[in-house]
Copies of this chain bind each other. A is one copy, B any other.
Amino acid sequence: MSYPVTGEQFLGTARVPGTGPARTAVDPSTGETFGPEYRDAASEHIERACAAAELAFDAYRAVPDEQRARFLRAIADELTNRTDALVERAGRESGLPAARLTGEVARTAGQLRLFAETVEEGSWHGARIDPAIPDRQPLPRADIRQRQVPLGPVAVFGASNFPLAFSVAGGDTASALAAGCPVVVKAHEAHPGTSELAAGAIAAAAEATGMPDGVFSLLYGDGPTVGGALAADPRIQAIGFTGSRGAGLALTRAAAARPVPIPVYAEMSSTNPVLLLPSALASRGADLGTAFVGSLTLGAGQFCTNPGMVFAVEGDGLDAFETSARKAVEASTGATMLTANIARAYASGVEKLSGHADVQVLATGAQPTTASGGCATLVATDAASLMADAALRDEVFGATSVLVRCRDEAELIALLRVLEGQLTVTLHADEADHELAGRLLPVLERLAGRIVFNGWPTGVEVGHAMVHGGPYPATSNSRTTSVGSLAIERFLRPVAYQDAPAGILPTELRDDNPTGTWRRINGVLGNH
């Protein structure tokens, strides 16, 4: 099969070109543009996509679990079928290597299959039954039953750095569709063709599995105009976003200012501190230095979980860590960054950091010769300087990290307490460090959504136990995750039914539990 890209939007099942400003994709490694032309959505297209999503909502949420799971698996299959086309197009649009993108297609498909399983497993319904007690004194107790229902149409804003896994058919779309919410995606400007291909996979799957028209739409456009109008549409009931802090906060403000505010799940920024505890540092400082730079330079450092800060108490092994990290950075070849804008922002961030009076540049990697190349940089400072200037703690999106030398454990802990919320925090700890690690744990639990031991924060496993989230400003809502099956809950809300006649009750709340789902009866969990 061939999968041509045409530049058209998906308004439900209709394919319609935009009529706003025209854009084309740019190859970041050469700066060259290439077709087709993508025109921004006009307000009539946003209106049509939202109207279709609203119209589809009741039909889609009534689709039985097994059929909804079939839809999610069909999307996974359709994406898999398009692997070659996606990898080729995403490679040109993002500069990311084919091996990484091949893996990302598989990850995206795997994510959809995880949500298919989650839908089938049934506990997401949150079914609860408190049966009536007619002879209770002084008043009888009514029969109360509860389940989770989907919020309504969801707007998804794709990220630049994962053109597949955090984009059109990515985690937010998968979890919203799993919850029973139609989805309207605004494609990221940097990968319109990849977006169109992924949308084609969703549309084909929706058709093949008989989903209602409007369950999915794709619009092109910028954040402020098209994104802003989409976020303001009264039919949109929640927003999923991965991207910069500025854009995420703008969306959050826009959503709060609506006549009816809606939740925004924005995953925004993180410096992902890595802590080298004394015994681990002493026993394997050199190895840690090399492995750290491997994580730092992965994907040109363009991961939300890139290790942007390393904390160590001065002592045995720190010199060895520095030496090997410096060598690894110097040996790094750099890479094309996702877009020219990102490369410019990275260069300026590195320049600002390197030029800071309290910062020493330890090592710089080779600057690649491509148009939007970024080179790895390692700088160092001390804890007191990092405490004194919040700007030193800002994320530099790319392969740059700050090594922070702490005088003692007390300074390390004081530093952890001033940090902003993070997606991850990592500890390298040997047996002899466990006592300290245990004492740090309560601080780290308040700091981040994921605590990594003796590994590196890059590489977010897709599973049931993953948390990709964390306290503000890592995300706009710490009580959820954007990766892993728990994410289905962000698009659900509870409804109680009091004394509902048997014939009206939703399937999962009927006395006979025909789907054998998990339920809490008088508070007791079981398949009853």
Q: Which residues of A contact B (CB under 8 A)?
A: 58, 61-62, 103, 117-118, 121, 123, 126, 128-130, 138-139, 141-142, 144-146, 149, 151-152, 256, 260-261, 263, 421, 429, 431, 434, 437-438, 441-442, 445-446, 448-455, 459, 461, 463-467, 469, 471-473, 476-481, 484-486, 490, 492-501, 503-504, 518, 520, 522-523, 525
Contact = CB atoms under 8 A, between A and B. Distances in A.
Indicate the member of A256, A471, A497, A499 with the most B CB atoms within 10 Å: A497
Q: How many copies does the complex hold?
A: 2
Contacts of A123: 525
Given A437-B504, A463-B144, A465-B144, A450 B481 contact: no
Nearest to A238: B479
Contact of A146 (B129, B441, B465, B495): B465
A424 to B, nearest CB: 8
28 contacts: A58-B442, A62-B442, A103-B138, A117-B523, A126-B486, A128-B464, A128-B465, A130-B465, A142-B461, A146-B467, A151-B478, A256-B256, A260-B473, A263-B477, A429-B501, A437-B504, A448-B495, A449-B493, A449-B495, A450-B497, A450-B498, A454-B499, A464-B523, A466-B496, A479-B492, A481-B494, A518-B525, A525-B525
Contact of A498 (B145, B452, B485): B452
A466 B130 contact: yes
Contacts of A459: 139
Nearest to A523: B464
Indicate the member of A437, A455, A496 with the most B CB atoms within 10 Å: A496
Nearest to A123: B525
B497 A130 contact: no
A450 B520 contact: no
A37 B478 CA distance: 41
Given A144-B463, A451-B496, A434 B501 contact: yes
Nearest to A59: B442
B152 A446 contact: yes
B497 A478 contact: no
Nearest to A503: B434
Contacts of A450: 495-498
A61 B429 CA distance: 24
Contacts of A494: 449, 467, 469, 479-481, 486
A19 to B, nearest CB: 31
Given A503-B434, A504-B441, A523-B118, A466 B497 contact: no
B499 A452 contact: yes
Contacts of A128: 464-465, 486
Given A146-B467, A260-B473, A479-B493, 18 more contacts: A58-B442, A121-B525, A130-B463, A139-B459, A144-B461, A145-B465, A149-B445, A263-B477, A449-B493, A449-B495, A450-B498, A453-B501, A455-B499, A464-B523, A465-B496, A465-B520, A478-B493, A479-B492
